[in-house]
Amino acid sequence: MRPRAGRHNYKLCPGHNFLLIVVVMDPRAFNLRHLSAMAAIVRTGSISAAAKAVNLTQPAITQAVAKLEALVGQRLFDRQPGGMAPTPATLLLLPRVEAARRLVGSPRVTMSQLHALIALARAGSYAGAAVETGLSEPSLHRALADLSVALGAKLVERRGRGIALTVRGAAQARNFRLARAELQSGLDEVAALAGQEIGRIAIGAMPLSRARLLPDAVVQFYARHPDFDIAIVEGSHAELLRPLRDGDLDLLVGALRDPPPGDDVVQRPLFVDRPAVVARAGHPLALAQGPADMAGLAAFPWIVAAPGAPLRNFWEVMFRDAGMAPPRVPIECGSVIAIRQMLMQGNFLTLLSPDQLSVELEAGWLALVDGPRAPRRVIGVTTRRDWTPTPMQVRFLEMLDAAAASAPAVS
């Protein structure tokens, strides 16, 4: 039998010489029927009425509440003459539970089935899902077959020698991930109620955000809340958008898209950035007297991101606005680290935000080329429209705003 899912934070208890072990619960430890019972008690005001609503006996409801209280480490109801009154912990947890239940879509779904579909979607095979869940492949087959019956839909189909999720299966897996994220947020909020500043925020970091903005906000946040976990996943907008929609990421930081990528996400600006032409120190254009013209820029080899990338689009616009066709790009590259190394070894030019190369510019290894400027772009935060951050996540967003406010003004 696998150990109960959870994470442990070890803290020295102030004024004592022993460690306080804070258990950070994983939502996989929940029983979805127990959560439905809790919601029914809040809705009806009594155990007897809740028992009828969820088709359980009163002793089963009482036992469900006791198990939930043991999991969250707090009392969920106060017995009163008029019935059962929810505690503050329950009132915090309830909206997350209701959101998760809507996303799950059926009272017949179990947590093991939910996790089995998420694991299969991530691994792409029963063998991979078995490794992730610790279940045998026959057990996974049964769990997913029962889940298909519960939802009344085919979720998995064979394709050649492998398997793939159906359209309904992929959509359900996404909803299950979002449901699990809601429950995790609920657990974090209940923990905060008990004075534990614990939880997690998962951030998708696009190239520009990695230079100063995101590191500044993360360091400031960690200094104040060292027990809160931050996960940073690097990638392009195209690579990070799906994990955001699936609930694996809470937010993206980087260049905003115009138009937005869909009605299911919200974009919020942080600051305005303007890319500039960059070359090595000592480059002929960096040493030239006066600004370079577009013909002069076109005479040198360029290192630019692949077509479709925002910076590539800005680069092309820069030339077209001057009435010129964009020159040939001999080296397509989106890695700032690789571009930096190549710039310092030849007469290449690139188009990047000065913030992305601030260390190299300040050290005198690279230089800005005086000349035409690329269009401005807006850097900001992208979140799911239905994302409700926890109070601790709100604090991180506030620190991100503060870091953006200190960014240099763009002319």
Chunked into runs of 10 residues, the chain (411 residues) has average pLDDT values of 39 38 67 95 94 92 93 91 91 96 94 95 93 91 95 92 92 96 93 86 86 89 92 92 94 91 95 92 91 93 90 90 93 92 95 89 93 84 95 95 78 54
Whether residue 90 is contained in a domain is answered as no
Confidence (pLDDT) at 407: 67
Rounded Cα distance between 322 and 325, Å, is 9
Whether residue 223 is contained in a domain is answered as yes
Whether residue 280 is contained in a domain is answered as yes
- Rounded to the nearest 10 degrees, the angle between the axes of helix 58-72 and helix 32-44 is 110
- Note whether 293 and 336 are same-domain residues: yes
The two tokens of residue 65 are 């509440």
Contact status, residue 165 vs residue 173, Cβ threshold 8 Å: yes
Confidence (pLDDT) at 410: 57
Whether residue 365 is contained in a domain is answered as yes
- The 10 Å Cβ neighbour count of residue 285 is 19
CATH number at residue 381: 3.40.190.10
- Note whether 250 and 220 are same-domain residues: yes
Radius of gyration over every alpha carbon of the chain, rounded to an integer in angstroms: 27
- Note whether 364 and 384 are same-domain residues: no
- Note whether 369 and 280 are same-domain residues: yes
Whether residue 169 is contained in a domain is answered as no
- The residue assigned the tokens 């699936």 is 246
Confidence (pLDDT) at 212: 82
- Note whether 252 and 306 are same-domain residues: no
- Note whether 291 and 336 are same-domain residues: yes
Whether residue 45 is contained in a domain is answered as no
SS (H, E, C) 150-197: HHCCCCEEEECCEEEECHHHHHHHHHHHHHHHHHHHHHHHHHHHCCCC
- Note whether 351 and 400 are same-domain residues: no
Confidence (pLDDT) at 2: 33
Number of domains into which the chain is organized = 2
- Note whether 285 and 215 are same-domain residues: no
Confidence (pLDDT) at 20: 34
- Note whether 266 and 329 are same-domain residues: no
Whether residue 228 is contained in a domain is answered as yes
- Note whether 329 and 354 are same-domain residues: yes
Whether residue 104 is contained in a domain is answered as no
Rounded Cα distance between 66 and 156, Å, is 36
- Note whether 385 and 249 are same-domain residues: yes
Per the structure, the complete domain to which residue 317 belongs is given by 275-375
- Note whether 223 and 280 are same-domain residues: no
- Phi and psi of 26, rounded to 5°? -95, 135
Contact status, residue 379 vs residue 256, Cβ threshold 8 Å: yes
